[in-house]
Amino acid sequence: MSNCRVILMLFFTSTYSFHVLGNSIEVCKSCQFTTIKQALGHANAHDTIRVYKGIYEEYNLEVNKPMVMLGINVPTIDGKEQGTIINITADSVVIDGFQIENVGLSYTKDYAAIHVYKSRHFNIKNNILKKVFFGLLIEKSHDGQVRNNEVSSDAKEEFNSGNGIHLWHCSNIEVTGNTLFRLRDGIYFEFVSESTISHNVSYNNVRYGLHFMFSNNDNYYDNEFHDNGAGVAVMFSKFINMKRNKFYQNWGTASFGLLLKEIYDAEIENNIFEENTIGIHIEGSTRINYVHNQFNQNGWAVKFAGGCYANVFYQNNFISNSFDVSYNSKLNDNRFEENYWSSYTGYDLNKDDIGDVPYRPVKLFSYVVNRTPESIVLLRSLFIDILNFSEKVSPVFTPDNLIDDSPKMKAFND
Amino acid sequence: MFKILQYSFYDLIRSRWSYVYFLFYLVLGLALLFLNNSVSKSVITLMNIIIVLTPMIGTIFGVMYFYSSREFTELLLAQPIKRTTIFIGQYLGVSLSLSLSLVLGLGIPFTIYGLWQSSELANFGLLLASGTFLTFIFVAISANIALLNENRIKGFGYAILIWLFLAVIYDGLFLISLVVFEDYPLDKLALVATALNPIDLSRILILLKLDISALLGYTGAVFQKFFGTNAGMIVSFFILLVWTLIPTLFIRRIAVKKDF
């Protein structure tokens, strides 16, 4: 009886695996197929194409059946700047272990190293994409994975460069462990929902490290964004989680760590904002909880630009920022509680680690700068220090309810 | 003139005040580097101190020296020496000894900390250069005041007032005018107003060289376009030079006319 069972099981597993994996087709200089295009033409659904090390000068490779494309020892596909290199229009496609380069630039078409269109269950992993226009362009696709790819280009200006990982009208996509640099936007999301972006590193991009619009219910964990032209921009989205991300060294006159515009119901926790011109720029964003974030040595740690309601800052560290909080109106509907402010000078008589004097994070000078931006040239002059001090002693101009009633005496350690 | 300069200079660098001033910068430099552990961060902190302190010390020290050496000056005047030589010599003696305290006091700790290998060398040089300029400018102004006022108390008062005006009140008026005229384009005004005050000019020159310049935004870009270029640098040093030369020429004029 047990023998019978084993045989039955073997039978089923073998037919099943045969069905899924299909045949294996090999591509190399001395194989039956010397180009990937030939191999794709002969492949049936669920075949595996194994491409061996070498340089393949090909573009417009149509992948229209479910299949696995496996690069052995990182073969190079050189597009010779002719346009899109791999075009995926089928479900269940795996692309693994290729180096794809020289996509070529167009002002009318979105050429990409890998273009995915209306596909489900795709998996693009361990590829190196170099000198791309768009790296991965994924449209109207669902339930896919993009893992451990390295995408780079030599972008210098916004108008003639493309994005690293560009998703449009997608859902349930996992973008994990990718490295993106010298592109226009590292990662770009538009109309993408229920997706996760985690463990990516995006740096030295011309515009944004991460840019997403109209993308609801997404999670962003453990990413690093640094030295990008304008930091990270998050706009017109709802129900977002951003946790344990690092935003640093985004210095420049138009640079942010994180730009929030029209964001509702987000959780921003345990992120680090370090040495950015503006740590977080908040505009028209409501019901956002900022918890346990670290703001170190930014120009402005948090800059409100109006229309922000019911935001809560709870237990964040504000350390050595030129301005902790900048606020542009006299009305305040946001709460600051139990944060640590390095410029807090109050005392704690009952030793409960909470300062006995409320802290006012908005300095008079930041109020003046908001009104008259030119006055920023007086930054770090003695007069401004005196001015801030006198306002601190008796506040007149800054919103009187914008205070942290329970400032912590010690910084939080994460 | 060189003899007088030499005499004033040696007299001063032997005096206690020069040592105190030198030691102050030495300790300051060491403490900053010890606490910040990075040359670039220390340069920023140092800027705040230098911008306020060098003009103040220059003013007070200059006035003090010219009043206290009055008897010696009268003795010199009895000798067959040109008046300009005496006063300019004294002026240069004071300025040089103060500048030396500044440059050595900060130079030594930063050199120990590996300034020469650091990328901040140019910024540090700029910091010391503007500190030196400010010393020369404010000693010259205080020399004028000391020569014009027989009454020491009055002289001290005026000197402190001038320092206070340029270091604090000027910025206040500047800020008020920016706020009052906020409906107009103010970049040019800000540029000119900054260039006219040696303290503001030094502050902006150093700020623009540091990371923090990104905070200055659009206005900063206008400033960067002007001061950031080599031409702008030359223009600003020229302005600082003019700021030094005009009071010096005044010393000459007063020295020639003054009735002792």
pLDDT, position B224 = 78
Q: Is the pLDDT of residue A86 over 60?
A: yes
Q: Distance from A28 to chain B by nearest Cα, in Å?
A: 50
Q: Which residues contact B66 (CB under 8 A, 6 or more apart)?
A: B90, B142, B143, B146, B147
Beta bridge partners, A60, equal none
Count H helices and E strands in chain B, helices first: 12, 0
Q: Which amino acid is at A237?
A: S
Q: Is the pLDDT of residue B207 over 90?
A: no
For range B64-76, the mean pLDDT:
88
pLDDT digits (tens, 9 = 90+) for A256-297: 899 999 999 999 999 999 989 899 999 999 999 999 999 998
pLDDT, position A152 = 94
Q: Is the pLDDT of residue B215 over 80?
A: no
Other residues' Cβ atoms within 10 Å of the Cβ of residue A119: 23
pLDDT, position A37 = 93
Instruction: Give the best residue of B47, B175, B200 to mutate against chain A (max A CB count within 10 A).
Output: B175
Q: How confident is the model at residue A13 (pLDDT cuts 50, 70, 90)?
A: very low
Q: What is the mean pLDDT of chain A?
A: 89
pLDDT, position A4 = 53
Q: What is the ipTM of this complex?
A: 0.84
Q: Distance from B168 to chain A by nearest Cα, in Å?
A: 5
Q: How confident is the model at residue B60 (pLDDT cuts 50, 70, 90)?
A: very high
Helix axes B198-209, B170-180, angle to 10 degrees: 70
Q: Tell me which of A399 and A54 has the higher pLDDT.
A: A54
For range A359-384, the mean pLDDT:
86
pLDDT, position A57 = 94
Lowest mean pLDDT of A143-147, A397-401, B156-160, name the range: A397-401
pLDDT digits (tens, 9 = 90+) for B114-150: 778 877 888 888 899 999 999 999 999 999 999 999 8
Other residues' Cβ atoms within 10 Å of the Cβ of residue A8: 10
- Considering only CA atoms, which of B198, B156, B133 is closest in space to residue B60? B156
Give percent of chain A above pLDDT 90. 66
pLDDT, position A14 = 46
Nearest residue of A to residue B220 by CA position? A377
Other residues' Cβ atoms within 10 Å of the Cβ of residue A219: 16
Closest partner residue to B218 among A253, A275, A379, by Cβ?
Answer: A253
B134 touches chain A (CB under 8 A): no
Q: Could A299 and B220 be called an inter-chain contact, meaning their C-beta atoms sit closer than 8 Å? A: no
Q: Could A299 and B212 be called an inter-chain contact, meaning their C-beta atoms sit closer than 8 Å? A: yes
Q: Is the pLDDT of residue A398 over 90?
A: no
Q: Could B212 and A368 be called an inter-chain contact, meaning their C-beta atoms sit closer than 8 Å? A: no
Closest partner residue to A299 among B171, B172, B214, by Cβ?
Answer: B214
Phi and psi based region of residue A272 (left: phi greater than 0; alpha: psi -120 to 50; beta: remaining):
beta
Exposure string (b/e) for A264-289, b if CB count within 10 Å is 16 or more? bbbebbbbbbbbbbbbbbbbbbbebe
How far, in whole angstroms, is CA A149 from its chain's centroid?
Answer: 14
Q: Is the pLDDT of residue A11 over 60?
A: no
pLDDT digits (tens, 9 = 90+) for A173-220: 999 999 999 999 999 999 999 999 999 999 999 999 999 999 999 999
pLDDT, position A248 = 92
Separation between Cα atoms, residue A414 and residue A293, nearest integer Å: 9
For range B101-125, the mean pLDDT:
86
B212 touches chain A (CB under 8 A): yes
Q: CB–CB of A373/B177 below 8 Å?
A: no
Give percent of chain B above pLDDT 70. 98
Nearest residue of A to residue B48 by CA position? A380
Q: CB–CB of A159/A181 below 8 Å?
A: no
Q: How confident is the model at residue A16 (pLDDT cuts 50, 70, 90)?
A: very low
Nearest residue of A to residue B41 by CA position? A297
Q: Sketch the domain layout of chain B as residue ranges.
A: 2-257
Q: Is the pLDDT of residue A5 over 70?
A: no
User: Could you write out the three-class secondary structure of chain A?
Assistant: CHHHHHHHHHHHHHHHHHHHHCCEEEECCCCCECCHHHHHHHCCCCCEEEECCCEECCCCEEECCCCEEEECCCCEEECCCCCCCEEECCCCCEEECCEEECCCCCCCCCCEEEEEECCECCEEECCEEECCCEEEEEECCECCEEECCEEECCCCCCCCCCCCEEEEEEECCEEECCEEECCCCCEEEEEEECCEEECCEEECCCCCCEEEECCCCCEEECCEEECCCCCEEEEEEECCEEECCEEECCCCCCCEEEEEEEEEEEEEECCEEECCCEEEEEECCEEEEEECCEEECCCEEEEECCCCECCEEECCEEECCCEEEECCCCCCCCEEECCEECCCCCCCCCCCCECCCCECCECHHHHHHHHCHHHHHHCCCHHHHHHHHHHHHCCCCCCCCCCECCCECCCCCC
pLDDT digits (tens, 9 = 90+) for A89-114: 999 999 999 999 999 888 898 999 99
pLDDT, position A6 = 52
Separation between Cα atoms, residue A217 and residue A104, nearest integer Å: 34
Closest partner residue to A373 among B211, B214, B219, by Cβ?
Answer: B219
pLDDT digits (tens, 9 = 90+) for A220-244: 999 999 999 888 999 999 999 999 9
Q: CB–CB of A83/A110 below 8 Å?
A: no
pLDDT digits (tens, 9 = 90+) for A109-166: 899 999 999 999 999 999 999 999 999 999 999 999 999 999 999 988 888 899 999 9
Q: Could A372 and B169 be called an inter-chain contact, meaning their C-beta atoms sit closer than 8 Å? A: no
For range A63-69, the mean pLDDT:
94
Length of chain A equals 414
Helix axes B152-164, B121-148, angle to 10 degrees: 150
Q: Is the pLDDT of residue A1 over 60?
A: no
